[in-house]
């Protein structure tokens, strides 16, 4: 299945604000439930991991390379230059401790420097607001990843 990202709205059949029950109805039951450090519900599904805020509902969805995550018609995990593709859509990425954030897209990437640890997280608006002061501008053309 292809998971098409709609910035700040959702990805595939998932929409930010959905309840865990909504997700179960649309995507099936989780394989595992857990809690984050912030005590938010974390659900592991076959193709993605979800985080739910008690106040908002679904706030983020993370994907590993096995997923077909589509952004602007391109599968990020199978494209030869995914960072350049994202930079064409959002030319002002930010970086903090190895995590790239594309604020216009609501997407973070981690592990793209290592083939076996890549993760893309799609999130709702405002999710990183408290952390933004830690991020610095990042130039894709200079840093060829």
In angstroms, the CA 106 to CA 122 distance is 6
Give how far Cα 34 sits from Cα of 29, 37, 38, 93, 133, Å.
14, 10, 11, 31, 29
The predicted pLDDT at position 111 comes to 83
82: which 2 tokens? 């995914």
Query: In this structure, are residues 87 and 94 in contact, taking their beta carbons and an 8 Å threshold?
Result: no
Domain ranges in the chain? 2-137
**What was the pLDDT predicted at 98?**
86
Cβ-defined contacts of 14-17 (< 8 Å, 24+): 14/48, 14/50, 14/58, 14/61, 15/58, 16/56, 16/57, 16/58, 16/59, 16/123, 16/124, 16/125, 17/56, 17/57, 17/58, 17/124
Q: Which residues of the chain have pLDDT under 70?
A: 113-116, 141-145
Quote the pLDDT of residue 53: 96
The pLDDT, as a whole number, for residue 116 is: 64
What is the pTM (predicted TM-score) of this model? 0.91
Q: Mind listing the pLDDT tens digit for each residue in 78-96?
A: 998 898 999 999 999 999 9
């Amino acid at each position: 299945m292809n998971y098409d990202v709609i910035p700040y709205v959702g990805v595939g059949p998932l929409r930010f604000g959905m309840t865990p029950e909504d997700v179960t109805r649309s995507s099936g039951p989780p394989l595992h439930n857990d809690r984050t450090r912030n005590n938010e519900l974390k659900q592991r599904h076959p193709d993605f991991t979800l985080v739910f805020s008690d106040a908002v509902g679904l706030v983020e969805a993370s994907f590993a390379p096995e997923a077909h995550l589509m952004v602007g018609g391109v599968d990020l995990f199978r494209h030869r230059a995914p960072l350049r593709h994202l930079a064409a859509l959002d030319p002002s990425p930010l970086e903090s401790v190895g995590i790239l954030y594309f604020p216009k897209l609501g997407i973070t990437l981690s592990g793209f420097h290592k083939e076996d640890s890549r993760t893309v997280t799609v999130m709702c608006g405002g999710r990183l607001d408290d952390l933004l002061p830690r991020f610095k501008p990042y130039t894709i053309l200079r840093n060829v990843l």
